[in-house]
Structure 1
Amino acid sequence: MDLPVMPPIDPMLAKSVPQIPAGQRYEPKWDGFRAVIFRDGSAVEIGSRNTRSIARYFPEVVASALAHLPSRCVLDGEIVVPSATTTGLDFEALLQRIHPAASRVEMLARTTPALFVAFDLLALDDDALMSRPLAARRALLEDALARSVGAGTATGEAAAVHLTPQTEDPDLAAQWFERFEGAGLDGVVAKRADGPYLPGKRGWAKIKHDRTADCVVAGYRVHTSGPDAIGSLLLGLHTDEGELASVGVIGAFPMARRRELFAELQPLRTELAGHPWAAALESGTRTPREAETSRWNRGKDLSFVPLRPERVVEVAYDHMEGTRFRHTAQFRRWRPDRDPDSCTFAQLEEPVSFALADVLSAGRPSS
């Protein structure tokens, strides 16, 4: 491989801001795996956010890059997996794609195929483009994908490469922020039209949904530093049937606070029998949901200590995926005034339903 921009490269990042800034270009914030695709003829590499190669996990994306991208190029974007049961994304299915067995990778590539959504062009042919302004890179990206993807689809081949929508209208960006969440997206990214591509720098701005919920603390995991510190608190919400469902965790505490929490929660420790998640515990998984694993740290101990579900905590979260918080929730405050039985799914804000296909079509280059 001999390209003007060579792997590995640290992708440019975004910093969180509270509201959509004026006078910039705006794109949906995709909720998948960050990916930089390098293609040089028949050679394709895919670098992750931490610069590791993930090409082996997505053979269908490699094949589509060979079929639909310019013969020599470097593109930045996101790998996502469309849901098989809804019109949005499926992050859990995407997590399943990181698997050591080649046979399983091949099977998942057929049953849960991934897409690559491009949002930047770092090199084309013999030209390195990172020092050029975003507006120029975007124009070249649109033209390159209109020609390469358009040529492939004209022959009847389905491309797994798409162009993210982009607008200079902040009002439209605000609409995307509200509407696209229903397709599983994560907010909006704002980028300066005159900005260069800065590897590893937080030169863009991201605006994400921030919501709160009152949850029941039903258990904890110990910290890796030792058995006398809390690693994370396990959260639950009651269903309409009154069952306590596992919805996620909070785990960002200073070490001193982790030890204080450990001491505070000891009086609530309980036996397995009678705990709302006893069935999962007794099945041998020792997790609040069946078959929970850590795909990024294999062998990690995910067992937890059950607690009597009597304490309520207010947490901040960005959005849900199914019945769980998509990302780790953030501690806000204890709620001693709340009855644990009142912590239900009914308090959660539901995003407007929106189809992934409509999001992708908004960024489709014209031929």
Structure 2
Amino acid sequence: MSVHSSSASRDVLPLLSPMHAVIGPLPPPETEAEYAYETLWNGARVLVHLPGDGTVCLLSATGLDVTAQYPEFRSLASALPVLEAVLDAEIVALDGRGRPSVERLQQRMSLRHPDAVAHATRDLPVQLTIFDILYLGEPTVQLPYTSRRDLLDDLNLAGPGVAVPAAWPALASEAFEQAVREGFDGVVAKRLTSPYLPGRRSRDWIKIKQGDAEA
């Protein structure tokens, strides 16, 4: 299975930029049911291009092709052998307790030489956390968050080194407290009706970190 170059992927799939969240407090009780709550991973953002030909391309938030730095994700292409897709994800390095480690991720991101990268797949493993879908045979960015999550869940992409995180409905404070208990920095509140806005920072997504949960 080969690695697809970014230029080749662009001939098949739309070239999009990630949507970004604003930083803010948890939604108040009167509006909390308008959102779903996902864990804040603090990883390296990537858009995953799957042209449907057995190849995969990872593009960073700035559009750089970082596929060769993470060869363990090549097998993801076999999960969607025919469908063309663009997925929004974060690359995360976990510590011994299964919690995201910025330090370990930075070590992995600094590697470029193929031999160093090959060794790192064993010594500094990373996980691909997929949380949105921008294209699946046709654009999906105009669909509401709930519909995109349903499409993503139906793909059954979870496997070794790949995860689709849970999204808590309605219970803002409970979701935040559980995420913090599990060692994460907080949650992202995503409005259930919101479309995906490529390249934009929108209040439809609110990043809530420890210390920012209260208005």
Normalised-by-shorter TM-score class: 0.7 to 0.9
In the alignment, what sits opposite 2:117? Answer: 105
How far does the alpha carbon of each residue in 1:138-171 deviate from its partner, in whole angstroms, 9 at most, with x for none? 11111012xx54xxxxxxxx5221111112222x
Cα distance, 1:3 vs structure 2: 7.3
Cα distance in 1 between the residues matched to 2:59 and 2:97? 29
Cα distance, 1:54 vs structure 2: 1.6
SS in 2 for 1:178: helix
SS in 1 for 2:155: helix
Assess, with a 3 A threshold, how the Cα gap between structure 1 residues 27 and 107 changes in structure 2: closer, same or farther. same
Assess, with a 3 A threshold, how the Cα gap between structure 1 residues 13 and 199 changes in structure 2: closer, same or farther. same
Unaligned stretches of 5+ residues in structure 2: 1-8
Within the alignment, does 1:133 sit opposite 2:144 as a pair?
Answer: yes
Question: Is the Cα contact below 8 Å between 2:140 and 2:148 reproduced in 1?
Answer: yes
Question: Is the Cα contact below 8 Å between 1:70 and 1:144 reproduced in 2?
Answer: no
Within the alignment, does 1:78 sit opposite 2:90 as a pair?
Answer: yes
The residue type paired with residue 174 of structure 1 is S
The residue type paired with residue 20 of structure 1 is P
* 2:17 aligned residue (10, 19, 30): 10
In the alignment, what sits opposite 2:5? Answer: none
Assess, with a 3 A threshold, how the Cα gap between structure 1 residues 96 and 183 changes in structure 2: closer, same or farther. farther
How far does the alpha carbon of each residue in 1:4-36 deviate from its partner, in whole angstroms, 9 at most, with x for none? 7423x2100000112235221211111211111
Question: Is the Cα contact below 8 Å between 1:90 and 1:184 reproduced in 2?
Answer: no
In the alignment, what sits opposite 2:39? Answer: 28
* 2:50 aligned residue (39, 46, 50): 39
Bigger RCO of structures 1 and 2 (CA < 8 A, at least 6 apart): 2
In the alignment, what sits opposite 1:58? Answer: 70
SS in 2 for 1:97: helix
The residue type paired with residue 98 of structure 2 is T
Cα distance, 1:91 vs structure 2: 1.8
Cα distance in 2 between the residues matched to 1:174 and 1:69? 36
SS in 2 for 1:109: helix
Tell me the percent identity.
31
SS in 2 for 1:117: strand
In the alignment, what sits opposite 1:174? Answer: 173
TM-score if structure 2 supplies the norm length? 0.82
Within the alignment, does 1:93 sit opposite 2:93 as a pair?
Answer: no
> Which structure has the larger Rg?
1
How far does the alpha carbon of each residue in 1:263-318 deviate from its partner, in whole angstroms, 9 at most, with x for none? xxxxxxxxxxxxxxxxxxxxxxxxxxxxxxxxxxxxxxxxxxxxxxxxxxxxxxx9
In the alignment, what sits opposite 1:330? Answer: none
In the alignment, what sits opposite 1:201? Answer: 200
RMSD: 2.2
May I ask how many residue pairs the two structures share in their alignment? 196
Cα distance in 2 between the residues matched to 1:73 and 1:12? 17
In the alignment, what sits opposite 1:114? Answer: 126
Assess, with a 3 A threshold, how the Cα gap between structure 1 residues 14 and 4 changes in structure 2: closer, same or farther. farther
Cα distance in 2 between the residues matched to 1:49 and 1:197? 15
Assess, with a 3 A threshold, how the Cα gap between structure 1 residues 3 and 189 changes in structure 2: closer, same or farther. farther
In the alignment, what sits opposite 2:26? Answer: 19
Cα distance in 1 between the residues matched to 2:201 and 2:90? 17
SS in 1 for 2:167: coil
